[in-house]
Amino acid sequence: MRPPVILEPSTTYSSNSSSYSPSSDRRLNTIAKHFVNHVQMDSHNISPSPTASSDSVFAQIVRAPEDAILGVTVAYNKDTSPIKLNLGVGAYRTEEGKPLVLDVVRRVEHQLFTDGSRNKEYIPIVGLADFNKLSAKLIFGADSPAIQENRVTTVQGLSGTGSLRVGGEFLAKHYHERVIYLPQPTWGNHIKVFTLAGLTVKTYRYYAPATRGLDFQGLLEDLGAAPSGSVVLLHACAHNPTGVDPTLEQWEQIRQMIRSKSLLPFFDSAYQGFASGSLDADAQPIRLFVADGGELLAAQSYAKNMGLYGERVGALSIVCKSADVASRVESQLKLVIRPMYSSPPIHGASIVAAILKDRDLYNEWTIELKAMADRIINMRQQLFDALRARGTPGDWSHIIKQIGMFTFTGLNPEQVSFMTKEYHIYMTSDGRISMAGLSSRTVSHLADAIHAAVTQVA
């Protein structure tokens, strides 16, 4: 502690006049000296912390396991092989294997940077109003009755993950059923997000390993057996990790089942426009559910379709029965968000809002978005052709039937391990590969590795 300055008589003024007051000076100096001596005595008498010379109070904490997906990149980065290939990362890569910042994003960022009227003030708890309004229109359609009737409340979230967490905590506090059904398999983080939000997680059948396609009958049976009112998580498009999506006809049957059982759908839309190249086509399953007048939740992410991975920008929308209910729901969402992160970040949402509200920027974005989707579709075709050319045992048509960033190859953990050890190819142990991490230059290497794994490892 810094000792107080000892007041000198020559510099001290009386409180009642502008003349010097020696008696006042003496009193102040006596008080100051007493304070200094007291501080010095206290500093000598401070007893050491009970933990100062012993083990940390956190010594009992065990090291957590590496995240299954992020751990792939950690292992990849440690590999010094010049032929190493990372197919675990859930982010788009160019043909040259580099991260991509969209041209339209760079244009908007330049506009924002040169706008002298912008500031860094906090934004509202629910986020930027323009961003929320435009995000709802993007996913539900500008002509959506729910939007026109003000039955939708939208809040800005921390990408898709944060939006799911806010939705989960809202349901745990205010919905009468605390059970959520997830497809088996699903994105690994779903289980953690909803469990920590306070919901009980159960699963419904989704993927059929034998066909490497959709277990549609199993899906309907499990949803039909779910208790009335249960929450059901649905991947809006480009199911992660399988890349297997229902057809529109199957979606209609799913909708009928969910509504007949009074189940509550919660859509996770992480790939709108990134799957097929069409924003409207990829939103069709959600719009089917909105059109029947029922209620639902939808989490959006702009990580993939705008390449705003690190900006953490997304939205949670809840479609309600009336405008009054929507307003009350929003008031409670604020109470979930406020103690969680207070208010969302401004930069990424400003980029999204600028693109969505300007016709020219929007059109430029859709062109770049389709180019990303088309490249991934092309990589699927090239890999399928390469495996067929090698005569690799098995039917690999699922590679071109599946859609989106990921392909569930059907490779087992032993085969995956073999490919990592012998070919320096990294992917999750369940055989999921990111098609966005593949290029025309590396397709042959991957096809050779798959062929060897299938023919040499059971």
Active site residue ranges: 187, 268, 304
Q: Report the C-alpha gap between 333 and 346 in whole angstroms.
A: 19
The contacts of residue 232 (CB under 8 Å, 6+ apart) are: 180, 181, 204, 223, 226, 258, 263, 264, 265, 266
CA pair distance 212, 410, nearest whole angstrom: 7
> How far apart are alpha carbons 384 and 191 in whole angstroms?
32
Instruction: List CB contacts of 331: < 8 A, sequence separation 6 or more.
Output: none
End-to-end CA distance of the chain: 70
Tokens of 160: 């898709």
Task: Read off the tokens for 311.
Answer: 């900006």
Report residue 166 as tokens.
């806010």
Amino acid at 95: E
DSSP letter assigned to residue 99: B
Q: Report how far apart, in Å, the C-alpha atoms of 395 and of each of 211, 398, 401, 445, 454 are.
A: 9, 8, 12, 19, 12
The tokens for 165 are: 């967490």
Eight-state DSSP code of residue 86: E
Q: Which residues of 402-411 are buried (b: 16+ CB within 10 A; e: fewer)?
A: bbbbbbbbbb
Q: How far is CA 320 from CA 155, 204, 257, 265, 295, in A?
A: 14, 25, 19, 12, 5
Q: What sign has the CA pseudo-torsion 450, 392, 433, 265?
A: negative
C-alpha dist (Å) from residue 389 to 159, 189, 337? 41, 37, 54
